[in-house]
Structure formats: structure tokens, C-alpha cells
């Protein structure tokens, strides 16, 4: 019986239940499943666990050559619990013959829903109005509607498409920028392809859904932010370093844009001395876009299914470094 080790999940009632379900599901497929909490991340403990495992389900922490060279005798596959893999050294994994996969699509609905939540909350100044009630202040802050407005989606992948689908109920004009546009899907969904500059210029709300890599580092910079309407808001549920936080702070503090909703940050946890925490026109959440019971189970199940297909010798679209096979 092959062994899977999962390193994702805090020791809470929800994650205990999810991992019990995962253990039962894995057993049905012929796998031994072990849950190992790593909060905070303990590289030495992870290595010791993986040395005796055929596969691992990993979180957002760095996985590089230091780990791969210690575990490659036994471990053949690591599955990223989620979509982003910027902290995984794919070249080093391939060097040691370890396949890296991700659970693409499993959290699509949850992240798209969170993006919509942040758009609505920032447009209607929800955090400021909540403080008014808590302080007995009742100085009502007037926001803007997104109904009949223009929403710009940066990145038209699984999540961008899902958000577009949801926004149709708001009668929005939807525009999107993607360096590799799915023109057929855009046409079918009534989404207008535009340049990145035009998207920032015309949108009432902008939502970021591109992966983080060298080409998207600080993609949203001072120049793009300067193009936004003063009533527009920016939402990021992708990766923190896609947005230049210094430039965003400047735009928000000077009221050049109306607000922002961030679920991801350049450094996580967000440092308590971050200037973003001083702003009243920003909503901050602790990287929880994919954290719904439904989405988490989808991810656990998909991760185990990927393991099952991998060891059955099936080709998988979820493998990120197909060159691992040559080693």
C-alpha cells in the first residue's frame, strides 16, 4: 500500500473532519494516508515524513533542492494544495525525479466568490460603515453600486471565467486582459478583450487572477494605478507580489482610488507594521479565498485522485514538470 502524507491544515474541528474523510477516501483507493500538521513549517520534520512516503500533499511553503535531495529515494510526487506554485523549485524537483502537481480548478468557485465579496464590500465601504455602528457614530459612508458597472478581470483562466459567469447576474460590462486570451470563451461569455491599460482606465472594479512569476511581479504598479477612476476599487485574491504594495498604499492614502480588497500579500502573515493597516479604505483578509469547507474537500479529493492516477501510470494535465520523467 502506497503512502501519502498531507502537510496542509491546522488542528481544528474542520480540518480533523476533512482529513478523516481524506483518510477514508484514500484507503478506498488503496493508499495509506497520514496527516501531519506543520504550523509553523518545520523543514526537517517534513523531510523525515516524506522519506517514508511515496507522495505528499504540500502547502505554500518553499520546497527546493534542500528537500528534494533528501526525499527522492522514496517520494515520487508532491501535489500542491491549491493552484499557486511559485515557492516550488520545478527545475530542482525534475533534477531529483520528483513530479510536482497542483489541484487546478478545485477552488475555482470559492476564490471567484471571495473576489465578488471583496468587490461588493469595497464598493459599498462595508468596513468603514461597520466601524460606524461599532463606535455608535452613524456617519454613513456612501459607496457605489457595481450593478450596470464595468468590471475588469486580469487573467481569464478558471477563476476569471467563473467570476465572469457570476457577474452576469449583476448586468455588468465585463472586460478582461490575458496575455494568452481564450478568445472563444470570451466571445461565448460576452467578455470584451482589452489591453491592460484600457482595463485599468475604464473599470469600476478590477480583480486580479493571474499566476505569480517573473513577468507578473508588480504587474500592478504606480503607472497602472494612476489610470484608475477615483471611484474604482482593486481586488487581489491571486498572489501578493503581483501588486506593488507601496504604490497601492500611495494611491489609497492619497484617495486616488476609492478602495482595495486584499486577501494576499507580499509577506504573509502581513507584518503588524505594514502601512496598509493604517488605511480605512482597504479590506484585508488572511489568504482565505479558497478556505470553504466545500472547496477544501474538493482540493483534498483532487489531490488524492492525482496520486491515484499518477501511480496507475496515467497521464495527468495537473503535472507541472513533465521533464521529471527523464531522470
The CA radius of gyration of the chain, in Å to the nearest whole number, is 21
Contact assessment for residue 175 and residue 154, using Cβ atoms and an 8 Å cutoff: no
Q: Exactly one of 48, 268, 294, 327 is catalytic; name it.
A: 268
From the list 76, 124, 209, 287, the catalytic residue is: 287
Grid cell of 131 as nine digits: 466601524
Is it true that the peptide bond before 40 is cis, omega within 30 degrees of 0? yes
268 is an active site residue: yes
Cell (9 digits) for 196? 491592460
Cis before 269? omega within 30: yes
204 burial (CB, 10 Å; 0-12 / 13-18 / 19+) is buried
Residue 287 is among the residues annotated as catalytic for this protein = yes
Indicate which residue of 102, 239, 245, 318 is catalytic: 239
Question: Which region holds residue 255: left if phi is over 0, alpha if psi is between -120 and 50, else beta?
Answer: left
Q: Tell the burial category of 153 from Cβ atoms under 10 Å away from its Cβ (0-12, 13-18, 19+).
A: buried
Q: Can you say whether the dihedral through the CA atoms of 269, 271, 274, 280 is positive or negative?
A: positive
How is the beta sheet containing 150-154 ordered, strand by strand?
192-193, 173-177, 150-154, 205-208, 233-236, 259-262, 282-284
Q: What are phi and psi of 77, to 5 degrees?
A: -150, 135
Q: How far apart are CA 99 and CA 311, in angstroms?
A: 11
Helices and strands, counts by H and E, the chain: 12, 12
Dihedral angle sign, alpha carbons of residues 164, 167, 171, 173: negative
Q: Is 49 a catalytic residue?
A: no
Q: Catalytic residues, which ones?
A: 239, 268, 287
Amino acid at each position: 500500500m502506497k503512502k501519502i502524507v498531507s502537510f496542509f491544515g491546522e488542528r481544528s474541528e474542520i480540518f480533523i473532519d476533512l482529513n478523516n474523510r481524506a483518510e477514508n477516501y484514500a484507503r478506498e483507493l488503496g493508499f495509506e494516508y497520514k496527516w501531519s500538521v506543520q504550523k509553523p513549517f518545520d523543514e526537517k520534520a517534513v523531510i523525515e515524513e516524506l522519506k517514508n512516503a511515496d507522495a505528499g500533499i504540500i502547502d505554500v511553503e518553499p520546497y527546493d533542492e534542500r528537500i528534494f535531495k533528501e526525499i527522492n529515494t522514496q517520494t515520487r510526487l508532491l501535489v500542491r494544495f491549491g493552484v499557486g506554485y511559485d515557492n516550488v523549485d520545478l527545475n530542482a524537483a525534475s533534477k531529483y525525479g520528483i513530479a510536482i502537481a497542483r489541484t487546478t480548478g478545485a477552488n475555482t468557485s470559492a476564490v471567484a466568490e471571495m473576489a465578488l465579496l471583496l468587490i461588493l464590500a469595497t464598493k459599498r465601504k462595508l468596513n468603514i460603515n461597520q466601524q460606524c455602528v461599532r463606535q455608535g457614530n452613524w456617519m454613513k459612508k456612501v459607496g457605489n453600486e457595481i450593478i450596470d458597472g464595468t468590471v475588469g478581470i486580469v487573467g481569464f483562466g478558471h477563476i476569471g471565467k467563473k467570476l465572469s459567469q457570476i457577474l452576469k447576474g449583476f448586468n455588468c460590462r465585463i472586460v478582461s486582459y490575458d496575455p494568452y486570451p481564450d478568445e472563444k470563451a470570451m466571445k461565448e461569455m460576452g467578455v470584451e478583450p482589452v489591453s491592460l491599460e484600457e482595463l485599468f482606465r475604464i473599470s469600476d472594479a478590477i480583480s486580479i487572477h493571474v499566476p505569480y512569476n517573473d513577468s507578473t511581479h508588480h504587474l500592478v504598479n504606480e503607472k497602472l494605478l494612476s489610470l484608475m477612476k477615483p471611484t474604482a476599487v482593486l481586488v487581489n485574491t491571486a498572489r501578493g507580489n503581483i501588486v506593488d504594495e507601496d504604490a497601492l498604499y500611495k494611491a489609497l492614502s492619497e484617495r486616488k482610488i476609492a478602495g482595495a480588497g486584499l486577501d494576499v500579500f507580499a509577506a504573509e502573515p502581513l507584518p503588524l507594521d505594514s502601512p496598509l493597516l493604517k488605511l480605512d479604505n482597504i479590506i484585508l483578509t488572511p489568504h482565505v479565498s479558497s478556505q470553504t469547507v466545500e472547496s477544501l474537500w474538493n482540493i483534498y479529493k483532487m489531490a488524492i485522485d492525482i496520486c491515484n492516477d499518477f501511480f496507475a501510470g496515467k497521464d495527468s494535465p495537473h503535472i507541472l514538470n513533465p521533464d521529471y520523467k527523464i531522470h
